[in-house]
């Protein structure tokens, strides 16, 4: 039940895009058509779902203050948390490499359409942000960390697919010249954010 609550919360209320603006760069750049946006969303969800549990285990058993207790009493005072940034990014970079090889083998068309943005998932703020929020919130188990990862991934997917759908329709409308392209996209995202704020306070 608690995990279900966390899941719903991470999709709608703590939405990566609308509440924290994470992963905006690729969100703005790849949202020109629904198909590509959906592919990138799936890839981000997948990477989040893998990296969060791995980083959670790393955090609990290696990096946190006193986490190395299982090695012996003399390691109990070690606090390696200042290394967490570099460890997290290393895990993420290698996982992204893995996903890239996987997608290249099984879906060459998706691979071609994602282009440069696939390796750039490594520097997508949403992925590292997920790990850092996980570190900040002290999840009780690896299960809830995974649920949080999948939930935030789906939230991101939802946001980018919605925006892509709106932008597809928008290409036929008459927008003031200075706002065309990126300006109007910002405004739409802002309005979608206001809409998503109505989910605030939902509790299962």
| Interaction site with other proteins (CB under 8 A) | 18-25, 28-29, 82-83, 85-86, 89-90, 93, 119-120, 122-125, 127-129, 132-133, 136, 176-184, 186-187, 189-191, 193-194, 197
Tell me the closest approach of the beta carbon of residue 155 to other proteins, in angstroms.
14
Judge contact between 151 and 8, C-beta under 8 A.
yes
| ∠ CA 147-19-111, rounded to 5° | 65
Q: Cα(114)–Cα(118) distance, rounded to whole angstroms? A: 6
- Nearer Cβ to other proteins, position 42 or 120? 120
With CA atoms as reference, report the closest residue to 134 among 49, 25, 17: 49
Tell me the closest approach of the beta carbon of residue 97 to other proteins, in angstroms.
9
- Nearer Cβ to other proteins, position 4 or 104? 104
Tell me the closest approach of the beta carbon of residue 136 to other proteins, in angstroms.
6
Tell me the closest approach of the beta carbon of residue 73 to other proteins, in angstroms.
27
Tell me the closest approach of the beta carbon of residue 1 to other proteins, in angstroms.
27
Judge contact between 10 and 158, C-beta under 8 A.
no
Tell me the closest approach of the beta carbon of residue 115 to other proteins, in angstroms.
15
Structure-token match 């960390």, residue found: 145
Query: CA neighbours within 13 Å on the CB side: how many for 38?
Result: 4
The percent helix, strand, coil of the chain (3-state, each to 5) is 80, 0, 20
Report CA-CA distances (Å) from 109 to 36, 133, 134, 144.
10, 33, 33, 34
- Nearer Cβ to other proteins, position 1 or 182? 182
- Nearer Cβ to other proteins, position 137 or 204? 137
- CA 57 to centroid of chain Cα atoms: 18
- Nearer Cβ to other proteins, position 6 or 127? 127
- Nearer Cβ to other proteins, position 69 or 180? 180
């Amino acid at each position: 039940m608690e995990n279900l609550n966390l899941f719903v919360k991470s999709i709608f209320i703590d939405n990566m895009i609308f509440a924290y603006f994470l992963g905006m760069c690729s969100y703005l750049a790849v949202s020109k058509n629904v198909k590509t946006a959906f592919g990138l969303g799936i890839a981000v969800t997948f990477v989040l779902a893998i990296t969060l549990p791995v980083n959670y285990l790393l955090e609990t058993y290696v990096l946190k203050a006193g986490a190395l207790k299982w090695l012996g009493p003399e390691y109990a005072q070690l606090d390696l948390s200042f290394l967490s940034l570099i460890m997290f990014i290393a895990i993420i970079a290698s996982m992204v490499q893995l996903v890239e090889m996987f997608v290249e083998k099984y879906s060459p068309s998706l691979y071609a359409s994602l282009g440069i943005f696939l390796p750039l998932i490594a520097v997508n703020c949403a992925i590292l942000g997920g790990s850092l929020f996980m570190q900040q919130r002290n999840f009780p188990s690896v299960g809830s960390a995974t649920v949080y990862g999948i939930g935030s991934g789906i939230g991101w997917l939802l946001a980018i697919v919605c925006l892509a759908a709106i932008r597809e329709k928008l290409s036929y409308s008459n927008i003031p010249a200075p706002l065309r392209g990126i300006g109007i996209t910002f405004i739409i995202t802002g309005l979608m954010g206001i809409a998503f704020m109505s989910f605030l306070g939902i509790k299962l």
